[in-house]
Structure 1
Amino acid sequence: MPASRRRSIFTARLVNTAGSGGQPQVVDDMRRAILSGDEPPGTLIPIEAVAQFFGVSQIPVREALKVLLGEGLVEHVPHVGYSVAKLSFVEFRELYDVRQALESAALRAAVVHAAPADDELVRETHEEMAAAIAAGDERAYHAASRRFHMALIGPARMQRLVHMYEGAWNMTEPARPMARVDESGRRTFHDDHDRMLAAFIARDADALVAESTRHFDHLKDGIAAFADDPDVFRA
């Protein structure tokens, strides 16, 4: 795809949440655009055009890019510029391994501290996933799935772990993996979630971690189906 086309795509999909007269939230709005999956991996980020969009100088845009670079959402190539990070498949799968390890540790702590209000939140997010599957809405499903997993580990009271978990998840978002998994795959994931919900409510840590492990095995099988897609992964 020509560079000029990629540039127009990025700026066209940005949203200035500050509104008219407000202070632009450059880094937050750029991060939101990338995490939405609307900015594919490899999309160039033109500093001048982004600055014009927000009505600011190039300085806050460059500062925002440094933050996003540190979060693994953006990469920089000398003499080319900044772009949405494009991982290799090996790197992408490694992030799933990281999430799995962090989730397993958090789940064991979560069942110790969980309260009835946590049960209700997990049930609500589980119902949101079911509704998204029924509607064939992959975006809603993906968002609800993330809320479900966060609801499961939230009671662990492990803020640093949760921060690392979210960071690892964020780096896979631009590839929109759930959009590349068919309905059958999403139903398999939802069956996993059924069993995870039951184990969480029962406060059965061993069963919950086992079901989480099974779920990540299914996720890894799902992403392997598009491992050779050059639009998603770099060689």
Structure 2
Amino acid sequence: MPGPRRRSALIALLTREPGAAPQAAILDELRRALLEGGVPPGTAIPLDEVAAVFGVSRIPVREALKTLIGEGLVEHRTNAGYTVAKLTPAELAEMYLVREALETAALAAALPAAGPADDDAARAAHEALEAAIAAGDVTAHHRESRRFHFALVSPCGMHRLLKMFESAWNITEPVRPMAHIAPGDRSVLHDDHADMLAAFVARDAEALLSAARAHHSRLASLLGAVPQHTGLLAERGPGEIYD
């Protein structure tokens, strides 16, 4: 006789905010749970259980999942349901190239527009990231690394560019690449962050872009550390597309 069905890891992370508009609340909460790293790629998203958390029918849950499919965070396969999206190793590398291109453009525009408040925000994010690395807290590392990079690019004020950068960053988050590299490599990456911060505060565009290039080059070389035998990454055949 089969044992009791285990509760989905996703369901355990969802919370319902009293008074929130159901459609917006479902979308925001699902996105938050996927980006915080507790739901690995390939995890099933049980429609009925999500609906029960929010006290709604399947319809608004499906609508929220359609939006997340468009954002690259969720996949749907006929007869298999909804799952947290997987990337192939090539797609993961591609998304980091996209992130680099967008960040480079944003940094170039951000530096002339930055002021003392932006310096303070970047320093605070850098300190929080340093503390996360020292503590070996991978979840905080991902959160604070994101905060640091966004602190550097936000002064550019180019909202469409920043939205594309955010979207590209989001797509890679469920994989949690930093969880799979050695602590020493994380420290080396953080040395790049220190160089980027120093150049940002000095308003040295050449040094900032050079440090950013070195950082992304190092990131690209470390992506191979993400294990390919655990189900985190997809193994799709040529031309196979999930809707």
Give 5+ residue unaligned stretches, structure 2: 236-243
Give 5+ residue unaligned stretches, structure 1: none
Matches within 5 A, 1:20-169: 22-24=20-22, 25-169=25-169
What is the CA–CA distance in structure 2 between the aligned matches of 1:107 and 1:141, rounded to whole Å? 21
What is the CA–CA distance in structure 1 between the aligned matches of 2:61 and 2:211, rounded to whole Å? 43
SS in 2 for 1:172: helix
Is the Cα contact below 8 Å between 1:31 and 1:68 reproduced in 2? yes
Number of the residue aligned with 1:188: 188
1:201 Cα deviation from its structure 2 partner: 1.1
Number of the residue aligned with 1:11: 11
Number of the residue aligned with 2:170: 170
1:178 Cα deviation from its structure 2 partner: 1.5
1:22 Cα deviation from its structure 2 partner: 4.8
> Across the two proteins, how many residue pairs are aligned to each other?
230
What is the CA–CA distance in structure 2 between the aligned matches of 1:129 and 1:9, rounded to whole Å? 26
What is the CA–CA distance in structure 2 between the aligned matches of 1:113 and 1:52, rounded to whole Å? 47
1:39 Cα deviation from its structure 2 partner: 0.9
The structure-2 alpha-carbon separation of the partners of 1:141 and 1:44, relative to structure 1 and needing over 3 Å to count, comes to same
Single out whichever of 127-136 and 69-78 deviates more from structure 2: 127-136
What is the CA–CA distance in structure 2 between the aligned matches of 1:222 and 1:178, rounded to whole Å? 9
RMSD across aligned positions (CA): 1.6
Is the Cα contact below 8 Å between 2:195 and 2:211 reproduced in 1? yes
Number of the residue aligned with 1:179: 179
Percent identity between the aligned chains?
52
2:203 pairs with 1:226: no
What is the CA–CA distance in structure 2 between the aligned matches of 1:175 and 1:22, rounded to whole Å? 29
Number of the residue aligned with 1:203: 203
The structure-2 alpha-carbon separation of the partners of 1:111 and 1:228, relative to structure 1 and needing over 3 Å to count, comes to same
The structure-2 alpha-carbon separation of the partners of 1:70 and 1:42, relative to structure 1 and needing over 3 Å to count, comes to same
1:6 Cα deviation from its structure 2 partner: 7.5
* Paired amino acid for 2:157: R
